[in-house]
Structure 1
Amino acid sequence: MPTISFERTAPLPPEEAWRRLTDWPRHAGAVPLTRIRVLTPGPTREGTRFVARSGLGPLALDDVMEVTVWRPPAGGEAGLCRLEKRGRVILGWAEIEVHPGSGGRSRVVWREELRVRFLPSAFDPALRSASLHLFGRAAGHLLKRG
């Protein structure tokens, strides 16, 4: 069960970085071959559930997620969103933190633990590397787009 962690700095105020990173449907534009379907009415809060379906046809996998911590940045304090992965195949969790930085910038910390049911641990290094690349690229894309 690989765990990844990375940081990004964005030339955005924390509230805008948060908005971009937690707009779940926008993730579909940042992750190839992925569609997002929000299962609960908005706005996002603890208990919000959504599905990221990645792949093509019968080779697609559903990543079912539920927001378990929803604390947007406010008053100079960092924001934290925690997602629990509740699917049949993809399990684990993700955390997105958005910290205020200097000069109106934001510092983003993304942590994720990913487990794929039935995938032997011998594949953990490859899964870790692919996840770090994919999620790091997605975060960069979300923070750059308006």
Structure 2
Amino acid sequence: MSRFRIERTVAAAPDQVWRRLTDWPAHGARVPLTRTIVLTPGPNRVGTRFTARTGIGRFGFDDPMEVVVFAPPAPGRTGVCRLEKRGRVVLGRAAFEVTGTAAGGSRVVWTEELRLRGVPSVCDPVFDPVLAAAGRWVFGRALDGLLRH
């Protein structure tokens, strides 16, 4: 399983950062050739489901996800959101934490654990570093865009 971590510190307040990071369609707008469709009506919560579709036309794949932890930040408390990825291609977990800083800004820690379905674990030493590097680049750019929004 490929694992990676991205950290950012920004001047925006934790509640503002949280709103940006839980705007699921905005994620799709920040990842090349991707759009995100929210499948669960209503406000974000545990059980919210959405799918990120990456590709061109019929050629692509869906990355369905479900929110399994949803605890917004509050004074003195780190906000935590965890997602389970349950696709035909991508399996794993994603999470982000939003913590207030002494200067009134926020620190964001984004982690992912990804596995490509059908790839034997014996291939992990070859695929995991490549998948982690690609993930850091793609999700780092997406995170930067969401935080700049």
Length-normalised TM-score, structure 1: 0.95
Task: Work out the CA distance in 2 between the residues paired with 1:50 and 1:133.
Answer: 22
Map of 2:47 onto structure 1: 47
**Counterpart code for 1:14:** P
Amino acid at match of 1:105: G
Name the structure 1 match of 2:60.
60
Following the alignment from structure 2 to structure 1, what is the Cα–Cα distance between the partners of residues 92 and 46?
Answer: 17
Q: 1:102 deviation in Å?
A: 2.1
Shift, 1:76, TM fit: 2.4
Which residue of structure 1 aligns with residue 147 of structure 2? 143
**Is the partner of 2:103 in helix, strand or coil?**
helix
CA-CA distance at 1:57 after TM superposition: 2.5
Q: Residue 80 of structure 2: SS of its match in structure 1?
A: strand
**Offset, 1:103:** 1.5
1:35 maps to: 35
Q: Report the AA paired with residue 112 of structure 1.
A: E
**Letter in structure 2 aligned against 1:69:** V
Q: Percent identity?
A: 56
- The within-5 A match list for 1:72-83 is 72-83=72-83
What value does the CA root-mean-square deviation take over the aligned residues? 1.0
Structure 1, unpaired ranges of 5+ = none
**TM-score by structure 2 length?**
0.94
Distance in 1 separating the partners of 2:27 and 2:42: 16
Tell me the distance in 2 between the aligned counterparts of 1:86 and 1:42: 21
The answer to which of 115-124 and 88-97 deviates more is: 115-124
Distance between the aligned counterparts of 2:58 and 2:131, measured in 1? 21
Partner of 1:134: 138
Report the equivalent of 1:69: 69
The equivalent position to 1:125 in structure 2, one of 121, 124, 129, is 129
Moved more, 14-23 or 50-59: 50-59
For these two proteins, the number of residue pairs brought into alignment is: 145
Specify the alignment match of 1:24 in structure 2. 24
